A = this chain, B = another copy of it.
């Protein structure tokens, strides 16, 4: 049952479909873990252990109010801790626990394994171009006017009701 073969769809839609399949495969790979969501946050922490919540939000394009719940969930699972930064007590450092570190290794491995598999029949050159263009498209999108999810603008002087920007459909 193939999907998205020869069809002419906008690049944002294509990317969304790809990422949905990607996360479907990922969650199958990791279905034995007790944590069943937010793998990309753990992946990010593997390389950015001890960063702040806001830093995760900025890099993964998640709203800070949503991030609170993500962090709560991962703390409850015993994967991470939340520590106040003594030098700026507004900030909370997010650090992997021993348990979290262990499972995050498996998660990182699963991500990398999927990447290896799906890039297996693509040349290094084309892969590099793909990644470069994907990053460029993202940064080009950043300078276009958007509804302001992901950015924690101050909420003053808000006039109109917002529309959902859920990356679905």
A residues bordering B, Cβ < 8 Å? 1-5, 7-28, 31, 36-41, 43-44, 47, 58-62, 70, 111-112, 114-115, 117-122, 126-127, 129-142, 144-151, 160, 163-169
State A109–B9 Cα separation when bound (angstroms). Answer: 12
Given contacts A20-B167, A21-B141, A23-B165, 10 further A-B contacts (CB under 8 A): A1-B58, A2-B139, A3-B58, A3-B150, A4-B135, A9-B59, A13-B43, A28-B147, A130-B130, A167-B168
Number of copies of this kind of chain in the complex: 2
Of the residues B122, B135, B137, B146, contact of A136 by C-beta under 8 Å: B122
State A131–B5 Cα separation when bound (angstroms). Answer: 12
B142 touches A11 (CB 8 A): no
State A43–B16 Cα separation when bound (angstroms). Answer: 15
Q: Which residues of B contact A10 (CB under 8 A)?
A: 22, 40, 43, 111-112, 114-115
A25 touches B118 (CB 8 A): no
A22 touches B11 (CB 8 A): yes
Residue of B whose beta carbon sits closest to that of A134: B14
B39 touches A169 (CB 8 A): yes
